[in-house]
């Protein structure tokens, strides 16, 4: 199913418009701009989610990482290799 398209008018810097016209075929420009906007909006949504969830990870809930995540990972990998060899 294809999304409904609507026309929107934006003012953008002339050099960006020139680059768009130089590098993107005329019939592909709307799709190109829509995809660029989609990607940037996804980044904004991700930033928002990251800001909202900041602080959700509490060190007190993960004492196994007190010595550092790298040591925990090495220890976990080492113990899994030992288990695989038995």
Sign of the torsion formed by the C-alpha atoms of 54, 59, 64 and 70: positive
Which residue's entry shows tokens 């130089």?
A: 22
pLDDT at 15 over 80: yes
pLDDT of residue 82: 66
Q: Residue 10 CB: number of other CB atoms within 10 A? A: 7
Global pTM reads 0.62
pLDDT at 57 over 90: no
Enumerate the domain spans of the chain: 14-53, 57-86
């Amino acid at each position: 199913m294809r999304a409904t398209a609507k026309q929107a008018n934006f003012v953008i810097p002339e050099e960006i418009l020139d680059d768009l016209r130089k590098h993107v075929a005329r019939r592909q420009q709307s799709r190109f701009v829509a995809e660029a906007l989609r990607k940037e909006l996804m980044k904004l949504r991700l930033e928002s989610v990251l800001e909202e969830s900041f602080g959700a990870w509490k060190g007190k809930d993960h004492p196994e990482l007190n010595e550092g995540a790298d040591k925990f990972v090495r220890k976990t990998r080492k113990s899994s290799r030992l288990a695989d060899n038995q």
